[in-house]
Homo-oligomer: A and B are copies of this chain.
């Protein structure tokens, strides 16, 4: 099928035609033209509508067959019965890439199934590839292009997203944390997750791919592509439809056969795909992979202001397959010398008594730097205070953490607690080598996933 440059037709179209968009534009209209204009798409925008002459200030053509200029990509959002005919018109006009937005196809009823088949048959005659149906389509922030009728922000971040639902595009802030290139494969009647992995996985601007799949198919082709992509960048996958009811419903959502969950699990493990159990984990792991240097082993040092916090971390370490680092001789001497005599330090390093004696910066800096310098430590998690400015001037560690992290190529995650955590978290948003996490356990999950990925790259398969 690859006689046409489908990847660039979909992801970097020089010209598009929108078929079946609303007459209105502006808030509430959910008109994809608004998004394209807001994003400054500089390709040619053609609009097809049978009844009006102008939409959002742009001229309108009556039918696809009446288009005069060449078009890379058609976005079709007309009632389902009209779609096979419009796909044929697209083929006759030389269009080879089509997004079908609407619901009501294989996921809906037998009529929908039939329409999806007819649409595919028409596409097959012309070598057209179809993305969808039941999709928001394609986003490429670098190309200032989106086919989505739902509003969303443009961000040039190194994050790719492959999904089977617009939920992840619209909810990107909650679910992923950012996205630049997106393929929502919807029902995946043609362009599927393997194509999407292939296309996004070779894009040099991406450093991580988030994957939402209701169905994983493709057998060896999936395994080959997934492994090739995983060798280059991490793929963090949320496979849904794991439960009996969830799998049944997936069939009526995207027409997916969710499949045996343990087969999916085995395929992910073999191909290096990092699986998450919950949406929040996908968000956390994507952030970790984008921001942190590699975690080259399972040995974690913990710097804590609270014994209780250290114990919570140890419980989480065990649950997620990491280990409390056994420090090399001498590593702990510096912070031990700052602590009261009765304090016997270990890992977690409880620095609070040292803080009381010698101040936050001295204690935190010593413990963090010495931990990171230890060859037996692969990554560090820190518990730090976030109080109001007046107290933070005495008890804040954010500056010393940032400073120390710069000198080491190891991941550091920081959990802030206290009345002013939001402010401290913001100070870290531009930081390269330390990542703030929303809970101690999520911090451990991030480090565990990162260690697992490196382990797979080194020893897997």
Contacts and interface: CB of A to CB of B under 8 A. Distances in A.
A246 B279 contact: no
Interface stretch (A68-76, A200-208, A388-396): A388-396
Given A311-B214, A391-B151, A439-B279, A418 B241 contact: no
A376 interface: no
B240 A308 contact: yes
A429 interface: no
Interface stretch (A13-21, A338-346, A364-372, A399-407): A338-346
A458 interface: no
Interface stretch (A140-148, A164-172, A216-224, A266-274): A164-172
Contacts of A53: none
B419 A249 contact: no
A109 interface: yes
A317 interface: yes
Nearest to A152: B419
Nearest to A242: B315
Interface string A229-241: 0000000001011
A173 B438 CA distance: 12
A250 B311 contact: yes
A174 interface: yes
Interface string A341-373: 011101010101100000000000000000000
A111 B279 contact: no
Nearest to A163: B308
Interface in A242-277: 242-246, 249-250, 252-254
Interface string A161-199: 001111110110111000000000000000000000000
A243 B153 contact: no
A104 B310 contact: no
Contacts of A340: 104
A109 B342 contact: yes
A276 B308 CA distance: 16
Interface size class of A (residues with CB under 8 A): 35 or more
A227 B400 CA distance: 47
A105 B400 CA distance: 31
Nearest to A110: B342
A286 to B, nearest CB: 14
Copies of this chain, how many? 2
A28 interface: yes
A405 B395 CA distance: 44
A212 interface: yes
A117 interface: no
Given A104-B342, A340-B104, A170 B385 contact: yes
Interface in A309-349: 309-312, 314-319, 324, 340, 342-344, 346, 348
B344 A252 contact: yes
B175 A310 contact: no
Given A107-B307, A307-B249, A418-B171, A240 B312 contact: yes
Interface string A65-95: 0000000000000001000000000000000
Interface in A96-114: 103-104, 107-109, 111-112
A33 interface: no
Contacts of A456: none
A376 B243 CA distance: 22
Contacts of A250: 311
A167 B306 CA distance: 6
A317 to B, nearest CB: 7
Contacts of A167: 305-306, 308-309, 417
A214 B170 contact: no
B214 A308 contact: yes
A280 interface: yes
A314 B394 contact: no
B314 A243 contact: yes
A311 B421 contact: no
A246 B350 CA distance: 14
Contacts of A316: 278
3 smallest beta-carbon distances between A and B, as pairs:
A253-B307, A171-B417, A165-B308
10 contacts: A26-B390, A104-B340, A107-B307, A167-B305, A167-B306, A174-B438, A241-B311, A241-B315, A249-B307, A249-B348
